[in-house]
Each structure stands twice: as C-alpha cells, then as structure tokens.
Amino acid sequence: MVSTTLLAKSLDEKNDILTRFQDRVRERTARVGVVGMGYVGLPIALLFAKRGFGTTGFDIDPAKIESLRQGSSYIKHIPDSEIAQGVQAKQFLPTTDFTQLSAMDAVIICVPTPLDDHREPDLSFIRATAESISQHLRRGQLVVLESTTYPGTTEEVVLPILEKSGLRCPVSDYSAEANPEENANSDGTDFLLAFSPEREDPGNKNFKTYQVPKVIGGVNALSVLATRALYETAFEHTVLVSSSRAAEMTKLLENIYRSVNIALVNELKLLCLRMGLDIWEVIDAAKTKPFGYSAFYPGPGLGGHCIPIDPFYLTWKAREYEFPTRFIELAGEINASMPEHVVAATGEALNCRRQCLNNSRILVLGVSYKKDVDDLRESPSLAIMELLQSRGVRVDYHDPYFPHLGRMRHYNFQLDSVDLSPETLSQYNAVLIATDHSSIDYEFVVRHSRLVIDTRNATREITEYPGKIVHC
C-alpha cells in the first residue's frame, strides 16, 4: 500500500486543483454526482447526502428517478424513509438530466459491467457514461469509477474518452519508491481520475456501506489524494494503493477468491454425495479450526453481479499477456454446472418414486440469487427453472420478494409467485428449495409436500418426515 505520509508531504499551494477540491470537501460545499441508481450507486449517493453533501443521483431510467423523487425505494433493504429524508431536505436530487454533470465537483460511476454472449467484457455502460461526462467535464472535477472491471480500464478506456473534452489528466507513478512529492503537482492536470471498487453486499446486516474499507487507486498522485479527501468524509477507513490498475485488480482478487473456494466446496459436495458423506457436517467440523480455514458453502450455482461475472474480466485481459487463468476457468466451469446437477438430481429423486421428470409439476422456492434480498442478477434459480421447463416440467415459483417474473435480460417466464398453503404444496410432485429465504417456514413446507429437494441445507434440522427430503 502507498505511504500516506509521503503523499501528504507533497501538498503545497501550487497544487491549486487539489487544494480547492479539498477545501470544498472540508466545507461540505462540494457537489457529488453518482451515475447509476442501482444496488451500488443508490447506497453511495444516500451516504454522501447523509454526510452533508449536495448529492445528485443520475440514471437513464425515468421510472427509477420518479420513484426516488417520490421517496419510494425499489431496493428492499433500502427503506423509503432514507430516500424521502434526503429528497425532502434537498440533499439528494434524482435526475435523468445529464447536463447537470457540469455542476458536480465529483462524479462517481456506478453502472453495470456485464458479460456479452461470448463471455467477454461489455463496457458499453462505462463508455456511454464516460462520453456523457466528457461532454460536460470542467477543470478541477474528480471522476471516480466504481464499476468492477479488468485492470487498465480506468486508464485505457475511461481516460481517453474524458480527454476528448480537451482537458488532460496525465498518468504518473506515485508509489513511495517513485518519490511522490515530486509527482503530486498540478502541472498539466486539468481534472482528476481514480478507481475505487464497490464492495456492496446487498442484505448484509453485519456491515453497513460506510463500515467497509474503501480501496482507492488514482491515475496520478493528485487524483488519489483528492479521492481520499472525498471518501474519508463518508467511510470509516480508506486504503490507498499505487495505481488505478492495482485497485481494479484488488476487486477482482476478492471475487475470484470467493469463486474458486465456492467451486471447491461445490465439487467436494458432489464427491460427498457419492461417498455417502454430509458435506455440511464436514464444513461445520472444519470451521472449528481457529486459523488457516474460512468456511464456504455449496449451492445450486452462483448468482449476483460479482462472482459469476467478474473473474472472467481478468480471464479476458490475461489473454493479452498470453497467460492462461486455469483456476478461474475451472472454477467457472464447476459453478456453472451446478444448475444442471440440481435438475439431474431432481429427475433421479422422482425416478426413485416411479415418477417422470417430464410433465411433472415442480415448485421452486426462492428465485433471488441469495437469501433475503430482492436481487435476481445471475440467479441460479432462473437457470434451474429454464432447464426444468426445457425438460417438459410445469414450473411454478414462490418468492416473497418477487410477486411476478416478467421479461429479463436472458429470461421471460411471465409467472406469478404462488402462495404457500397445504393445498398448493400438495399439488406438486416436488418442491425445490433454490434460495433459503428466512421468512419461509421449511417445516411447514416439508410437512405438506410430497417431496422436497434441498439445495441450501434449509431443512437440516427437520427429522420428522423421513424419506421426504433429498439433499443435492
């Protein structure tokens, strides 16, 4: 990490861009703009508004902006009151008018970074946002990219687009070894640019947004110092690294670490099933070791925006260096195969009861990618439902967070969530637990169902109905 003492020594009056920016931040007169009012952007915008900054939330979706203006949340874990408070105090101003970007002192980019149909990075949202900012960029502004992407995106993609404005932000090394006090000057620097990876975990009740340390990497010393000045007003801890590329790689490492370890336990789960062992018992025993082990858990596949997608950003970039990322690709193969395993296990469980998968009725419990959140992004439940339908299954679902499943990026089910009642549950050949929401009474489900396929170990404590539950 970067020596903040050495960086701080580089400040002097000639750094007019940095000094003026820090003064506005300190006085809370700086205007903060956040582009993208989704699961990442909205919490960040509300956080800066709470800290006393006039904050503008930008989004291209008029429905989202209208909802925010009415003080209404479309994200379950963000209460209406939090939005209404910011709007009523005029600290949080949602808009679709991107011309207002010119009035911002700092612009934070929180837009999606999906994969395309060939599993290659789709940077179209980042590029479009950078183009919008470039049209309104002015001297002294700070631009921070938070969207997860491959190392080099900030310097290689965002910077050239912003410099179409005619303004410049020279890339320079500011590591301790490079004597940063000689580099932290405003010569030739018209605007500031940095990368600070989002670390949101929707639904996590143990860590609030401001409690998660903020990693910051700039394209030069001025940029990293300005970004730190802004973020340290909102977050408990900031962590400086030596470049935007290092910050981009930090985020990928975090998600690849999780992807590889989840793939490991998914593979071991399949082995344990063949060996007649309970993988959940094994994990519980292993995690009693107080050092050298972190518990990861198997499931029906990976969901959310981060773990199923982000590792492949590095895989794609690594090809430029002719470097095979075998761990990442193998982990991806294992995790992507889990929905197929769940469907095969369901068919086998029905066969053991002399029933056929084709033309059966199956109720899927939970469609969000993890428990207790209203987030469908890359949910394995959706892949399982599509696979079941392709095999002739009549599929229904229940999820308290999603009363209706309509058209999505890759799916179009047009189904309504069914209520859980004894009569409803008894109609299905099997009930498949894909997401273990806390609000569901699993004893009730097992009692009134013919067969339960449990992919999340939600029924572990239920022993009264032998033969009804299949763990897979």
Mean pLDDT of 381-387: 97
Q: Verify that 325 and 388 share a domain, yes or no.
A: yes
Q: Verify that 216 and 117 share a domain, yes or no.
A: yes
What's this model's pTM, rounded to 2 decimal places?
0.89
Q: Verify that 354 and 400 share a domain, yes or no.
A: yes
When pLDDT is cut at 50, 70 and 90, the band that residue 176 belongs to is very low
Q: Verify that 360 and 286 share a domain, yes or no.
A: yes
> Pick from 7, 342, 303: which is nearest to 172 by CA?
7
- Predicted pLDDT of residue 5: 55
User: Within a domain: residue 297?
Assistant: yes
Q: Verify that 238 and 284 share a domain, yes or no.
A: no
User: Within a domain: residue 257?
Assistant: no
How far is Cα 436 from Cα 404, in angstroms, rounded to an integer?
A: 18
Q: Verify that 59 and 117 share a domain, yes or no.
A: yes
Q: Which of 110, 169, 306, 472 is catalytic?
A: 306
Mean pLDDT of 402-409: 92
Percent of the chain with pLDDT over 70: 94
Whether 128 has a pLDDT exceeding 60, the answer reads yes
- Predicted pLDDT of residue 362: 98
- Predicted pLDDT of residue 12: 46
Whether 376 has a pLDDT exceeding 70, the answer reads yes
Q: Verify that 229 and 294 share a domain, yes or no.
A: no
Nearest 5°: the CA angle 301, 321, 144 is 70
Dmax (CA) for the chain in angstroms is 82
Mean pLDDT of 339-365: 96
When pLDDT is cut at 50, 70 and 90, the band that residue 185 belongs to is low
When pLDDT is cut at 50, 70 and 90, the band that residue 6 belongs to is low
- Predicted pLDDT of residue 2: 61
Query: Which amino acid appears at position 414 of this protein?
Result: Q
Q: Verify that 140 and 178 share a domain, yes or no.
A: yes
Q: Which tens digits make up the pLDDT trace of 54-81?
A: 999 999 999 999 999 999 999 988 999 9
When pLDDT is cut at 50, 70 and 90, the band that residue 3 belongs to is low
User: Within a domain: residue 249?
Assistant: no
- Predicted pLDDT of residue 13: 40
Whether 14 has a pLDDT exceeding 80, the answer reads no
Which of 207, 242, 277 finishes a domain?
242
**What range defines the domain where residue 148 resides?**
4-242
- Does 356 qualify as catalytic in the annotation? no
What is the average pLDDT score of the chain? 92
- Predicted pLDDT of residue 64: 96
Structural domain total, the chain: 2
Q: Verify that 182 and 309 share a domain, yes or no.
A: no
Whether 410 has a pLDDT exceeding 90, the answer reads no
Q: Verify that 199 and 273 share a domain, yes or no.
A: no
Whether 178 has a pLDDT exceeding 50, the answer reads no
Q: Which of 193-197, 199-203, 382-386, 438-442 has the lowest mean pLDDT?
A: 199-203
- DSSP lists the bridge partners of residue 469 as 452
Query: Which amino acid appears at position 470 of this protein?
Result: V
Q: Which tens digits make up the pLDDT trace of 429-450?
A: 999 999 999 999 999 999 999 9
Q: Verify that 300 and 187 share a domain, yes or no.
A: no
- Predicted pLDDT of residue 173: 84
How far is Cα 411 from Cα 385, in angstroms, rounded to an integer?
A: 10
When pLDDT is cut at 50, 70 and 90, the band that residue 179 belongs to is very low
Produce one character per residue of 227-265: b if its CB has 16 or more CB atoms within 10 Å, e if not: bbbbbebbbeebbbbbbbbbbbbbbbebbbebbbebbeb
Residue 301 and residue 312 in contact, taking contact as beta carbons nearer than 8 Å: no
Q: Verify that 358 and 233 share a domain, yes or no.
A: no
When pLDDT is cut at 50, 70 and 90, the band that residue 286 belongs to is very high
Whether 11 has a pLDDT exceeding 60, the answer reads no
Mean pLDDT of 361-388: 95
User: Within a domain: residue 251?
Assistant: no
> Pick from 170, 99, 161, 166: which is nearest to 130 by CA?
161
- Predicted pLDDT of residue 206: 84
CATH number for position 49: 3.40.50.720
User: Within a domain: residue 250?
Assistant: no
